[in-house]
Amino acid sequence: MKTDIKTPNRKTAKNAAQSMRGFTLIEVAIALLVIGLIAAPLVQQYHQFIKIAQQDTTEANLNLAYSAISQFYFEFDRYPCPADPKLGPADATYGEEDCTAASLSVIPVMNIDGNPGIDNIWVGMVPFKTLKMTPEETLDAWSNKLNYAVTDVLAQPPVGGFNQGWGLITIHQDDTRGLLPDTCGGGAVDTNGVHLALYSSGPDEIGAYPAQNMAAPPQACPALGTTKDAENCQNNDEIFLFPTCIKSQVAGANHYDDIFLTRNAEDFMALAPQKMFDTATNPNDVGTTAGYIGINNNDPQSELDIIGNIRASDEFGNPDKQGEAHASEYCDTAGNNCFKAESIAGNDPNMNCIGSKGMSGIGSNKAKCSEIIPSFTTATTCPAGQYVSGISSTGVITCATP
């Protein structure tokens, strides 16, 4: 018997061997180089995106904190005291204002109120619990507590009350004291008499207190002159550096990565939160040429549209005018769906019911009218052993057995 034996194709076996050997080192290196060239810009953009997001988050929380401090100021005629930055979520007084200054960084400045003793600047964290904020709203993007500095006599006014001229903080828009180079060019602008400062220690986290309780910042503050942002790092003076023309992540004397409340120092930080009107300026016609408006006068001649809250000042000594405010109507933000004050305190035809009907309520700026229950002309009683359980719309009583 004859058997055919087929020999393998040498060319096919060679190709199979070549396909199994994989990539050479040169091919792998070329592939990695191509991937690196493509990925490098993406990685850089991602890092830039993260930095921008961190900046935005921190600035948003700084603005939230200032808004809450402003509302506190309007309500209590003073600023809140800072909270102890060394406390954490496990501490009962975490986030509460501390007006004893025993747990705060105290910066003695000068006697500004005329009373005995030196007046100070208190530095701590934003008192979120006192301001009815969440703890997260008073942290920066690196989970560190936002720094809050305030003049002590504006947070705890002495006898005589709040005085806007008692701000002790000085804002430098660059260091002009000769310790570091002036990068603004032509000299920097200083703002004196500032009431408060709000800022983050930035991504380097130097001098910052983390969210948990800490006896001291994990990274101590550098000596003044080592970096620009050392000026804001609890260096025991009244000067704070505002980043108008400085910002550098490079290590060295010009390093500055703090994030301040993003407002203009001259126009904003030197003043208390602004009320819409100040009757001391002109008690009859406050800041308007449209005619008298209803602010501290008895002859209002022009409409005053306000979106937001109205704070009515008390007239001390007159119990009939405690927190008094008057308006002819209240409308939605678009100026529609107005409710007139005369509807409940005046003579409004819409509030009149006709015929045999009487008012049972108010809705849609009109009286809700219902049939009047007829009066009883004769005495009506329930049988012995029963009690009156109701009255029908026709005036008939209903009786029930206990």
* Of 357 and 317, the one with more pLDDT: 357
For residue 67, the SS3 value is helix
The pLDDT > 70 percentage for the chain reads: 67
Name the phi and psi angles at 397, rounded to 5. Answer: -80, 155
User: What tokens were used for 69?
Assistant: 């401090």
In a domain, 332, yes or no: yes
- Confidence band, pLDDT 50/70/90 cuts, at residue 234: low
- Confidence band, pLDDT 50/70/90 cuts, at residue 26: confident
Distance separating alpha carbons of residues 332 and 375, to the nearest angstrom: 42
**pLDDT at position 169 over 50:** yes
Place of tokens 């509030």: 351
Biggest distance spanned by C-alpha atoms of the chain: 137
- Are 241 and 351 members of one domain? no
In a domain, 294, yes or no: no
Best CA proximity match to 161, nearest among 13, 272, 51: 272
Whether the Cβ atoms of residue 130 and residue 84 lie closer than 8 Å to each other: no
**pLDDT at position 36 over 80:** no
Residue 43 CB neighbour total at 10 angstroms: 10
In a domain, 104, yes or no: yes
Instruction: Collect contacts of 185-192 with beta carbons under 8 A, ≥24 apart.
Output: 185/245, 188/244, 188/245, 189/244, 189/265, 189/266, 191/242, 191/265, 191/266, 191/269, 191/270, 192/167, 192/270
- The reported pLDDT for the residue numbered 15 is 58
Minimum mean pLDDT range among 23-27, 143-147, 293-297? 293-297
Residue 86 CB neighbour total at 10 angstroms: 18
- The reported pLDDT for the residue numbered 3 is 53
- Confidence band, pLDDT 50/70/90 cuts, at residue 143: very high
- The reported pLDDT for the residue numbered 281 is 45
Residue range(s) defining the domain that contains residue 153: 46-269
**pLDDT at position 182 over 70:** no
- The reported pLDDT for the residue numbered 268 is 46
- The reported pLDDT for the residue numbered 267 is 43
Can you tell me the mean pLDDT for 178-198? 66
In a domain, 320, yes or no: no
In a domain, 283, yes or no: no
Whether the Cβ atoms of residue 221 and residue 208 lie closer than 8 Å to each other: no
| Mean pLDDT across the chain | 76
- Are 386 and 333 members of one domain? no
In a domain, 115, yes or no: yes
DSSP 314: P
- The reported pLDDT for the residue numbered 192 is 84
In a domain, 302, yes or no: no
Best CA proximity match to 265, nearest among 204, 195, 315: 195
Distance separating alpha carbons of residues 75 and 80, to the nearest angstrom: 11
- The reported pLDDT for the residue numbered 88 is 92
Place of tokens 């997260």: 136
- Are 380 and 338 members of one domain? no
User: What tokens were used for 151?
Assistant: 């003049």
DSSP 267: I
- Are 264 and 353 members of one domain? no
Can you tell me the mean pLDDT for 38-64? 82
- Are 203 and 139 members of one domain? yes
Q: Which of 246, 269, 292 is the last residue of a domain?
A: 269
- Are 94 and 228 members of one domain? yes
Distance separating alpha carbons of residues 256 and 172, to the nearest angstrom: 13
- Are 103 and 238 members of one domain? yes
Whether the Cβ atoms of residue 234 and residue 241 lie closer than 8 Å to each other: no
Place of tokens 């109120």: 113
Distance separating alpha carbons of residues 344 and 276, to the nearest angstrom: 28
- The reported pLDDT for the residue numbered 178 is 44
- Confidence band, pLDDT 50/70/90 cuts, at residue 119: very high
Minimum mean pLDDT range among 96-100, 115-119, 145-149, 298-302? 298-302
For the stretch 76-118, pLDDT in tens is 889 999 999 999 999 999 999 999 888 899 999 999 998 999 9
* Of 25 and 133, the one with more pLDDT: 133
- Are 158 and 69 members of one domain? yes
- Are 136 and 245 members of one domain? yes
- Are 238 and 162 members of one domain? yes
Whether the Cβ atoms of residue 388 and residue 401 lie closer than 8 Å to each other: no
**pLDDT at position 331 over 70:** yes
User: Which residues have CB under 8 Å from 317's CB, separation 6+?
Assistant: none
- Are 74 and 126 members of one domain? yes
Count of domains observed in the chain: 3
Distance separating alpha carbons of residues 327 and 299, to the nearest angstrom: 13
Residue 52 Cα distances to 56, 58, 168, 315, angstroms: 6, 10, 33, 49
- Are 337 and 391 members of one domain? no
Can you tell me the mean pLDDT for 277-286? 46
